[in-house]
């Protein structure tokens, strides 16, 4: 994994409707229910890389929030053990109750999950945000569908708490925000967008973690769009989902 610091000097202004509007603004609940299950948002190898990353950054004690969660949060067995031991509380906000109740980190604790559309209902409306401060927040491949939520999340995060936004180049075309869809051939621009997204919401120490597949000597195995660079004929034209994490730290949860 390689880290690159977000460059605030490349930041630009965004228009709420032009950049963060979506082709389909109709009922999100009905749409996401029709997309079940969500396991196809990443290939198996990318899921494994994400699990390795989360195992390295998500604490084994305290309070953790998984945003827009579903049946699998990609946390480790150690995290699940910590939940059952009562030293780690995992909370989830998602779109489909049928997915949330299947998540082993959540299903025995109904008070720790909430069905909520972050584009239509303020996260402040959730009782979770009134009674819990989080040590860590994760989101897997869905932040690109949000209009705005990250400032509310930051205010519910402890000082020095962290946020980790996992993204790939796959997306649901009608629900993704316009800026992402227009720039899908330039992932550098889209990763910068997520950095701007965090910066505008007040997060600090923003950086991009490149979790794409690498060879044993550290060279990238794929390009920005997941196409395999390896010269072996049997791999010609093959694809391995790229994966990045855009992350930040809350400098002060009282702001």
What is the pLDDT at residue 245? 96
Task: Give φ, ψ of 84 to 5 degrees.
Answer: -70, -25
Per the omega criterion (within 30 degrees of 0), is the bond before 37 cis?
Answer: yes
Residue 161, pLDDT score: 97
**Side-chain-facing half-sphere of 212: CA atoms under 13 Å:** 22
Distance (Å, whole) CA 253 – CA 255: 6
In the chain, the DSSP E strands lie at 2-5, 62-67, 88-94, 113-115, 134-140, 157-167, 204-210, 244-249
For the chain, first and last CA: distance in Å?
A: 32
Q: What is the pLDDT of residue 129?
A: 75
Ordered per-residue pLDDT tens for the chain, 255 residues: 666 767 776 667 777 778 888 888 877 777 776 665 565 788 888 999 999 999 999 999 999 999 988 888 999 999 999 999 999 999 999 888 888 899 999 988 888 998 888 777 666 667 777 788 999 999 998 888 877 767 778 888 999 999 999 999 888 777 888 888 777 667 888 888 889 889 888 999 999 999 988 877 777 767 766 667 665 555 555 777 899 999 999 997 454
CA distance 224 to 202: 28
Report pLDDT for 122.
65
Return the pLDDT at 7: 74
Full domain range(s) for residue 71: 2-249
Q: Give the Cα separation of 3 and 244 in Å (integer).
A: 10
Answer yes or no: is 66 within a domain: yes
Question: What is the number of helices (H) and of strands (E) in the chain?
Answer: 8, 8
Please give the Cα distance from 107 to 20 (Å, whole number): 33
Q: Look at residues 200, 62, 194, 196 and name the one whose alpha carbon lies nearest to residue 139.
A: 194
Give the total number of structural domains in the chain: 1
* pLDDT for res 241: 87
Q: Kindly report each contact of residues 23-29 with a partner whose C-beta sits within 8 Å and lies 24 or more positions away, as own/partner.
A: 23/173, 23/174, 23/175, 23/178, 23/181, 24/174, 24/175, 28/95, 28/117, 28/119, 28/120, 28/175, 29/95, 29/96, 29/117
Angle CA 149–66–136, to nearest 5: 85
Torsion of CA 19, 7, 188, 166, to 10 degrees: -80
CATH number of the domain at 238, please: 3.40.50.150
Kindly report whether the global pTM for this prediction surpasses the value 0.85. yes
DSSP state of 220: B
Is residue 91 within 8 A of residue 117, CB to CB? The reply is no
Beta carbons of 194 and 165 less than 8 angstroms apart: yes
Please say whether the beta carbons of 199 and 11 come within 8 A: yes
183-228-71-195 Cα dihedral, nearest 10 degrees? -40
Q: Is 254 contained in some domain?
A: no
- In a domain, residue 255? The reply is no
Query: Considering the domain boundaries, does residue 67 fall inside one?
Result: yes
């Amino acid at each position: 994994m390689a880290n690159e610091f977000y460059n605030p000097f490349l930041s630009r202004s965004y228009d709420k409707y032009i950049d963060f509007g979506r082709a389909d603004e109709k009922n999100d609940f009905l749409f996401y229910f029709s997309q079940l299950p969500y396991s196809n948002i990443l290939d198996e190898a990318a899921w494994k890389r994400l699990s390795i990353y989360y195992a390295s950054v998500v604490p084994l004690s305290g309070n953790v929030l998984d945003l827009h969660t579903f049946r699998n949060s990609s946390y480790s067995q150690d995290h699940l053990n910590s939940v059952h031991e009562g030293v780690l509380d995992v909370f989830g906000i998602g779109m489909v109750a049928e997915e949330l109740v299947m998540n082993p980190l959540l299903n025995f604790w109904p008070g720790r999950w909430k069905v909520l559309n972050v584009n239509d209902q303020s996260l402040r409306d959730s009782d979770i945000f009134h009674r819990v401060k989080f040590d860590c927040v994760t989101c897997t491949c869905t932040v690109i569908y949000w209009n705005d939520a990250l400032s509310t999340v930051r205010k519910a995060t402890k000082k020095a708490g962290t946020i980790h936004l996992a993204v790939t180049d796959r997306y649901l075309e009608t629900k993704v925000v316009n800026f992402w869809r227009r720039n899908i051939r330039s992932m550098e621009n889209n990763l910068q967008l997520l950095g701007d997204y965090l910066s505008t919401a007040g997060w600090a120490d923003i950086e991009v973690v490149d979790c794409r597949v690498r060879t044993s000597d550290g060279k990238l195995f794929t390009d920005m769009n997941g196409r395999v660079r390896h010269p072996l004929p049997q791999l010609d034209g093959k694809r391995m989902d790229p994966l990045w994490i855009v992350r930040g730290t809350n400098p002060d949860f009282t702001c």
